[in-house]
Amino acid sequence: MLAYMRFGEWNEILTIPDPGDEYTYLKMIWTFTRGIAFTRKGNLKEAEEELNVLENRNKDLGHENISKVAFHVLAGEIAASSGDLQQGIEQLKLAVEFEDQLPYDEPSVWYVPTRQVLGRLLLLKGQYAEAEKIYREDLAYYRENGWSLMGLYQSLKGQNRSREAEEVLISFKNAWKYADIEIETSVL
What mean pLDDT, rounded, does the chain reach? 94
pLDDT at 99 (0 to 100):
95
Tell me: do 106 and 143 sit in the same domain: no
Q: Render each residue's pLDDT in the chain as its tens digit; 188 residues.
A: 999 999 999 999 999 999 998 888 899 999 999 999 999 999 999 999 999 999 887 666 655 788 999 999 999 999 999 999 999 999 999 999 999 999 888 888 888 899 999 999 999 999 999 999 999 999 999 999 999 999 999 999 999 999 999 999 999 999 999 999 999 999 99
How confident is the model over 60-110, as pLDDT tens digits? Answer: 665 578 899 999 999 999 999 999 999 999 999 999 999 999 988 888 888
Tell me: do 105 and 127 sit in the same domain: no
Rounded to whole angstroms, the Cα distance separating 101 from 95 reads 10
For residue 97, being part of any structural domain is answered with yes
Tell me: do 91 and 158 sit in the same domain: no
- Give pTM, 2 decimals: 0.94
Enumerate residues 6+ apart whose C-beta is below 8 A from 28. Answer: 54, 57, 61, 66, 67, 70
Domain with 81, as residue range(s), is 1-112
